[in-house]
């Protein structure tokens, strides 16, 4: 095999460097997360009424604040993947499909692919199923991947709590875009967020944290964001309220003021 020697070729060195820079720039654009790492509210769409989901998606487009939408199984089960496409048509804000995927690599990647094709910007999967599964979904390169590290309910301490440090190190090394940590245990958000990207070769990578548990599960707006989280996930306190858009805006303002920023 003959190795290309730039001194012999007609391609000069500066041209080659400029190609490499352009390829790197293109790679950065392709690899950029669909969801911005900055404080916001991820509204959990767990309602079972599709028209009200579409209405709220439209309203959130005009809402004051940084919002994302998380489509959970109770809503998805009403119509299947079409509901992701319907919400996609209703809004430009990021959509996360929360299938909490936890299957063998082939099936997990298949589920994620269907969700991305339907219009999701991100999918949520469990980290505990193993690095091979996480890698398979990340390697699709079709959108963001968010892994569940610790959960909000008491049973999470019993099992996940014992190996969550390993899960967060390993999945951030694989290159996931986001992780789930519980707003109901802010001290865990603070402790585990410090481990993000610690083993990564790309020290610039900015993995965002999403934290459920606000109001219905006992945490207060800002509990997680003030401890290093980016998005607080809020479901019932928004979609069951009489004025969901206004509730979302109010919770956003409360979380941001606790955090102390804009």
By annotation, the residues acting in catalysis are: 100
Per-residue binding letters, 180-209, with ligand O7M (x by CB under 6 A): x-x---------------------------
**Min dist. Cβ of residue 29 to ligand O7M (A):** 27
Which residue blocks in 183-243 are alpha helix, DSSP H? 186-193, 236-239
Question: How many residues contact ligand O7M, by CB under 6 A?
Answer: 20
Contact criterion met (CB below 8 Å) for 178 and 122 = yes
Residue least distant from ligand O7M (Cβ): 235
Contact window for ligand O7M (CB under 6 A) among 31-39, 127-135, 188-196, 212-220: 212-220
82-121 residues in contact with ligand O7M (CB under 6 A) are 98
Task: Specify the residue, 140 or 216, whose C-beta has the smaller distance to ligand O7M.
Answer: 216
Q: Which of 143, 181, 185, 184 is nearest to 165 (CA)?
A: 181
Q: Which of 177, 235, 252, 255 binds ligand O7M (CB under 6 A)?
A: 235
Is the Cβ of residue 28 or residue 48 nearer to ligand O7M in the bound state?
A: 48
CA torsion through residues 201, 203, 204, 205, sign? positive
* φ, ψ of residue 40 in degrees (nearest 5): -165, -175
CB burial string 95-132: b at 16+ within 10 A, e below: bbbbbebbeebeebbbbbebbbebbbbbbbbbbbbeee
Which sign, positive or negative, has the C-alpha torsion 198, 257, 42, 102? positive
Beta carbon of residue 212, minimum distance to ligand O7M (angstroms, whole number): 3
The reply on whether position 232 binds ligand O7M by CB under 6 A is no
Binding to ligand O7M (CB under 6 A): which residues in 132-151? 148, 151
| Contact residue for ligand O7M among 66, 147, 152, 227 (CB under 6 A) | 152
> Residues near 23 by Cβ (< 8 Å), separated by ≥ 6?
none
User: Residues 182, 184, 188, CA angle at the centre, nearest 5°?
Assistant: 55
Binder of ligand O7M out of 224, 233, 248, 256 (CB under 6 A)? 233
Sign of the alpha-carbon torsion through 121, 39, 182, 216: negative
Q: What track of x and - describes contact with ligand O7M for positions 10 through 39 (by CB under 6 A)?
A: ------------------------------
Contact call for residue 124 and ligand O7M (CB under 6 A): yes
234 part of the interface to ligand O7M, by CB under 6 A: yes
Cα angle 37-38-41, degrees, rounded to a multiple of 5:
110
Query: Using CB under 6 A, which residues numbered 54 to 83 contact ligand O7M?
Result: 72
Which of 108, 181, 173, 167 is closest to 142 using CA atoms?
Answer: 108
For ligand O7M, the binding residues (CB under 6 A) are 44, 46, 72, 98, 124, 148, 151-152, 180, 182, 212-214, 216-217, 233-237
């Amino acid at each position: 095999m003959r190795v290309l020697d730039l001194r012999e070729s007609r391609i000069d060195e500066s041209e080659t460097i400029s190609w490499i820079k352009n390829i790197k720039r293109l790679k950065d654009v392709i690899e950029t997360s669909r969801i911005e790492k900055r404080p916001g509210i991820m509204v959990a769409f767990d309602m079972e009424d599709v028209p009200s989901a579409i209405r709220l998606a439209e309203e959130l487009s005009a809402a004051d604040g940084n919002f994302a939408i998380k489509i959970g199984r109770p809503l998805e089960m009403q119509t299947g993947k079409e509901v992701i496409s319907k919400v996609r048509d209703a809004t430009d804000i990021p959509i996360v499909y929360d299938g909490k995927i936890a299957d063998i690599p082939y099936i997990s990647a298949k589920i994620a692919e269907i969700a991305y094709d339907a219009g999701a910007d991100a999918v949520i999967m469990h980290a505990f199923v193993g690095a091979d599964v996480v890698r398979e979904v990340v390697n699709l390169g079709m959108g963001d991947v968010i892994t569940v590290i610790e959960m909000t309910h008491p049973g999470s301490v019993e099992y996940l709590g014992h190996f969550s440090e390993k899960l967060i190190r390993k999945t951030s090394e694989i290159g996931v875009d986001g992780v789930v940590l519980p707003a109901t245990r802010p001290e865990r958000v603070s402790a585990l967020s410090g481990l993000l990207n610690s083993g990564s070769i790309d020290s610039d990578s900015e993995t965002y944290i999403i934290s459920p548990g606000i109001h219905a599960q006992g945490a207060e707006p800002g509990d997680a964001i003030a401890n290093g989280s980016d998005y607080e996930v809020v479901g019932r306190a928004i979609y069951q309220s009489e004025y969901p858009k206004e509730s979302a805006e109010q919770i956003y303002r409360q979380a941001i003021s606790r955090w102390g920023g804009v």
